[in-house]
Structure 1
């Protein structure tokens, strides 16, 4: 078991570095937050969006869940955690960018593709059904591919599903059409240390520029 003192020591370094050396930054943050981007990222411990983008506190509004998924717009009963964060960041904070950040070696996508009952758990299977049409696209388009190739393809295809689902939220779609909000799909290859972004004009993921 990891000694909790590792995290306590880390907080003390954070406290020294930010509250001790960068008092101006936290002086501003005390007045409120004004992030320019919402990042919807995976809960995977290896993929921290603030570290990957080298951002400071206050730069990003972040939502993390298994497989960085966005459910479609839906009213009614239920605990809509992602939708709530999306609404707050767009309608209250006025973010200008939404980045769906996927990654290689995603455990959620692997569970979806393997379709094993034991991998679905009590909640994972139902949650991962959000990306079911990504799986269907991959199986239809790549019947001869290896399992690893299919999983990687589903990881990027699920990003597109989340981008599509974002546009089912009326106040997201309205702002995109007005030009005040931009949607981005990024994919981090943890094996290569590279990042690619979806280009809607070519329909491909291309090196991040």
Structure 2
């Protein structure tokens, strides 16, 4: 706790003072253009990765960056609805990441021993689990885990489309959906390109191998 208290002191005496005008403006409201959905993993810092400041991202986080279907309701549905209807964000990003513990648990349920709430939450990734079992039997170890991370992002995008506010905004061209994977060990970020059927670097450098025709990863290099 002492480290956190020292950090708050540094923020108040150095960071806040140098950006006081920004914070005074933000006191009157927020106008983020992007909803950023990612994992609760402590290694993921959306503002650091995207080099954005206060007020620029509306962030929702949970174990495994999951989007329960709309009929499940709950906190994620409320956050999505508020971002789309209330804040009128223009983009929604679902960002998975390498070496995700939630995806490891999906592949090895024994890791969920003694974690009933986590096991129940990961039921929202059952589509991912089913697809991995049906289409990825040829992969093992890190390759299988990386493919699961990628596949889960795509499956959660499908769940996102079940939310009425999202479906309406997408149909009118007011909202765009994006699937990203962040590679912790290199800092690279890859985005799924549905037209090309593959993940490629958001900065323009080709990165990941192509997916097969129904957009399922068959090889992975992240």
TM-score with structure 2 length normalisation? 0.87
Partner Cα distance (2:184, 2:33) in 1? 25
Partner Cα distance (1:50, 1:8) in 2? 21
1:135: Cα distance to partner?
A: 2.1
1:111: Cα distance to partner?
A: 0.5
Partner Cα distance (1:131, 1:56) in 2? 31
Asked if 1 retains the 8 angstrom alpha-carbon contact of 2:105 and 2:111, the reply is no
Partner Cα distance (2:127, 2:115) in 1? 20
Partner Cα distance (2:51, 2:18) in 1? 18
Q: CA RMSD in A?
A: 1.5
Equivalent position SS for 2:22: helix
5 Å-filtered alignment, 1:136-151, equals: 136-151=130-145
Q: How many residues align?
A: 203
Does 1:112 find its partner at 2:106? yes
Equivalent position SS for 1:123: helix
Partner Cα distance (1:177, 1:194) in 2? 31
Asked if 2 retains the 8 angstrom alpha-carbon contact of 1:103 and 1:188, the reply is yes
Does 1:198 find its partner at 2:185? no
Does 1:167 find its partner at 2:154? no
Alignment partner of 1:103 out of 97, 117, 135: 97
- Alpha-carbon distance change, 117 to 101 in structure 1, aligned in 2, over 3 angstroms: closer
Partner Cα distance (1:111, 1:120) in 2? 12
**Ranges in structure 1 where 5+ consecutive residues have no aligned partner:** none
Asked if 1 retains the 8 angstrom alpha-carbon contact of 2:112 and 2:119, the reply is no
Alignment partner of 2:118 out of 124, 131, 138: 124
TM-score with structure 1 length normalisation? 0.92
